[in-house]
Amino acid sequence: MQLNANDYPDIDLTPSGADKRPHVVIVGAGFGGLACARAMGGHAVRVTIVDRHNYHLFVPLLYQVATAALSPADIAEPIRKILRRHENIDVVMGEVGGVDVARRRVLIQEAGYVPYDRLVLATGSKYDYFGNEHWAKYAPGLKTVADARQIRASVLLGFERAEMCRDRDRQKALMTSVIVGGGPTGVEMAGAIAELARWSLRRDFRNIDPRSARIILVEAGPRILAPFPEELARYAHASLERMGVEILTDQAVRDIGPEGALIGDEFVRASTMVWGAGVKASPAAQWLGIEADRQGRIPVGKDLAVEGTEDIYSIGDTALTLDDRGEPLPGLAQVATQQGAHLGKSLVAQLERGAAPAAFRFRNRGNTAIVGRNAAIFDFGKRRLKGRFAWMLWALVHVYLLVGFEQRMLVSLQWLWRWITYQSGARLIAYDPSERGRGSQGSEPPG
C-alpha cells in the first residue's frame, strides 16, 4: 500500500495513557458498525468507532428524503449521541485512507492514526456503474444525504422549470424521471416520485399538470424485484403501473448523459435519473491489499474474521459471507446488524474471557419493499404479505428501527399527518449541482 506520510501525520488520535484494555477499532458507523460497538458497550474492552460523518444514517428511509417526504435530520442521528452512555466507546470523525497492517494502525487522512488490537471493517457499499463511472454525475445512486438532496432538487426543479417552459418537448423532458434498476430501491423511488407528482404537487402549478409526469423504471432482467417471490413482484408491478409508472423489463440502459438516457435503442430525454442497478463494496479490501470478489467484498470465515488474518474482521456489505447452501448473504441492513451484534459479543468473550471465536448464523427476519401509499410487500420465507396491511407493518417496523426515540416520534407524526393530508413534508430545493463531482467520495455535503 503506497501512502504519502504527509497525509497521515504520526499522531495517535486516541488518548494513549494508562488504558491497558484491549482496543477494538470499528471503521464505519452504519448498521453493522453501530451494532458491533453497542454489543461491546460497558465491557472491559476499549472501543473506537471511526466514520467520515458525525451521524449514523438510516439508509432504508433515504428515498423519502429524496422524494421530499422527510428531512435529512429525521433519519440521521449523531453517533456520539447514540453511544454516549458507554464510557468505553470513543468516536473519531475522519476519513480513513488505509490500514497499516504491520503496525496495527488505521490511518486517518490529514489527522493521524488510530492504533488497534482488533479491527472491524464495516464500511458498507456504494453504487456500481460497471465501468461507466461518469454516469454517476447525471444518475446518482441513493446512499448518502447528498445523493438524496441531489435527486430531490432535480425532481422539484424539473417541475419548476417545466412550469415556465413554452417548448412542449422540453417541458415533457423536464417532467420525466428514469430510474435504473428494478430492485427494492428502484421500486421505492419510482413509487415515491409517482406519489409526489400525483398527490403532493397536484394543485401547486398553473401551467403544467404534475400528474402527467412520466416515470420510467428500467430493469435489465425479466422482472422487477428479483430477490422476491414472483407473486409479490407481480403485485408490485401492477401497483406501480396503476400509479402511472412505466416499467420496462429486459431493457438495458446503454448510455446516460446530461440530457437523458439511452434505453435499448430509444433515447429518453429526462431531467431526473436515479441509479439503483448494482452495488459494490467500499475499498476496504484495497486497504488490506487482499483479493476481493467481483463485487469488491472481503471473504470472511464463519467467525467473520478476514481470511488470512488474525485480528481483522469484516461485516455487512463490505464482507462476503456464505450461508449454509454456500450462497452469499444479501446486502441487507438486517444482515449487517446481526453480524455486528454477533461479532461484538464474540470479541468481548474472546478478549475478556479468552473464549474461542463463535460462528455466525443469519436468521432471516423477512424481506420487505414498499411500493407506495397502502402498498408494500413482505417475504418471510413461508409466509407472504402484500397490500395495505403490509404497508402498515412496513411503517411500524421502520419507525421502530429508527435509532433515536425523538426521531421515532417525529417521523411517525409526519407520516400520519402526510397520510391524512396527502402532503409532502420537506419540499426544499436544496442542492447546488455544481457542488457535485468535486474531490473524493468523501466530499458530499449532507444535512
CA dihedral (436, 197, 411, 379) positive or negative: negative
Cβ 80 to a copy of itself shortest distance, Å: 4
Confirm or reject binding of residue 196 to a copy of itself (CB under 8 A): no
Distance CA 41, CA 39 (A): 6
Cβ 108 to a copy of itself shortest distance, Å: 8
Distance CA 149, CA 185 (A): 16
- Compare residues 322 and 413 and give the one whose CB is closer to a copy of itself: 413
Distance CA 20, CA 46 (A): 9
- Compare residues 13 and 319 and give the one whose CB is closer to a copy of itself: 13
How many CB atoms neighbour CB 38 within 10 A?
Answer: 19
Confirm or reject binding of residue 80 to a copy of itself (CB under 8 A): yes
Q: Judged by CB under 8 A, which stretch of 130-138, 146-154, 186-194, 329-337 contacts a copy of itself?
A: 146-154
| Helical (H) or strand (E) element with 47 | strand 46-51
Do 9 and 97 meet the contact criterion of CB atoms below 8 Å apart? no
Distance CA 155, CA 153 (A): 6
Which listed residue (413, 437, 440, 441) binds a copy of itself by CB under 8 A?
413
Distance CA 157, CA 175 (A): 9
- Compare residues 234 and 427 and give the one whose CB is closer to a copy of itself: 427
Confirm or reject binding of residue 51 to a copy of itself (CB under 8 A): no
Confirm or reject binding of residue 101 to a copy of itself (CB under 8 A): no
Going along 133-185, which residue ranges are E strands? 176-180
Confirm or reject binding of residue 439 to a copy of itself (CB under 8 A): yes
Confirm or reject binding of residue 145 to a copy of itself (CB under 8 A): yes
- Compare residues 38 and 53 and give the one whose CB is closer to a copy of itself: 53
Confirm or reject binding of residue 73 to a copy of itself (CB under 8 A): yes
Q: Judged by CB under 8 A, which stretch of 168-176, 236-244, 356-364, 433-441 contacts a copy of itself?
A: 433-441
CA dihedral (320, 326, 328, 330) positive or negative: negative
Residue 188 is among the residues annotated as catalytic for this protein:
yes
The DSSP-derived string for 66-105 is: HTTSS-GGGGEEEHHHHHTT-TTEEEEE--EEEEETTTTE
Confirm or reject binding of residue 55 to a copy of itself (CB under 8 A): yes
Confirm or reject binding of residue 86 to a copy of itself (CB under 8 A): no
Burial class of 11 by CB neighbour count within 10 A (0 to 12, 13 to 18, 19+): exposed
Which among 6, 5, 45 is positioned nearest to 343, based on CA atoms?
45
All three cell numbers of 104, joined, read 496495527
Confirm or reject binding of residue 322 to a copy of itself (CB under 8 A): no
Which listed residue (259, 291, 406, 441) binds a copy of itself by CB under 8 A?
406
Which position among 77, 95, 160, 188 bears the catalytic label? 188
- Compare residues 164 and 238 and give the one whose CB is closer to a copy of itself: 164
Long-range contacts of 167-175 (CB under 8 A, 24+ apart): 169/269, 170/269, 171/208, 172/214, 172/269, 173/259, 173/260, 173/269, 173/270, 173/271, 174/271, 175/208, 175/210, 175/212, 175/213, 175/214, 175/271
Pick out residues in 147-176 that bind a copy of itself (CB under 8 A): 149, 152-153, 156, 160, 163-164, 166
Do 186 and 236 meet the contact criterion of CB atoms below 8 Å apart? no
Residue that is written with C-alpha cell 402498498 in the block: 375
Q: Judged by CB under 8 A, which stretch of 239-247, 251-259, 316-324, 408-416 contacts a copy of itself?
A: 408-416
- Compare residues 164 and 355 and give the one whose CB is closer to a copy of itself: 164
Which listed residue (21, 54, 223, 328) binds a copy of itself by CB under 8 A?
54
Confirm or reject binding of residue 447 to a copy of itself (CB under 8 A): yes
What does residue 318 show for φ and ψ, rounded to 5 degrees? -70, -25
DSSP 61: G
Which among 227, 238, 248 is positioned nearest to 368, based on CA atoms?
227
Which listed residue (40, 74, 332, 394) binds a copy of itself by CB under 8 A?
74
- Compare residues 23 and 149 and give the one whose CB is closer to a copy of itself: 149
Pick out residues in 109-128 that bind a copy of itself (CB under 8 A): 111-112
Confirm or reject binding of residue 216 to a copy of itself (CB under 8 A): no
Burial class of 415 by CB neighbour count within 10 A (0 to 12, 13 to 18, 19+): middle
Site size toward a copy of itself (CB under 8 A) is: 62
- Compare residues 151 and 305 and give the one whose CB is closer to a copy of itself: 151
How many Å separate Cα 389 from the centre of its chain? 25
Which listed residue (35, 76, 192, 232) binds a copy of itself by CB under 8 A?
76
Catalytic residues: 188
Q: Which residues would be at the binding site for a copy of itself (CB under 8 A)? A: 11, 13, 15, 53-55, 71-74, 76, 78, 80-81, 84, 87, 90, 92-94, 111-112, 145, 149, 152-153, 156, 160, 163-164, 166, 201, 203-207, 406, 409-410, 413-414, 417, 421, 423, 425-432, 434-435, 438-439, 443-447
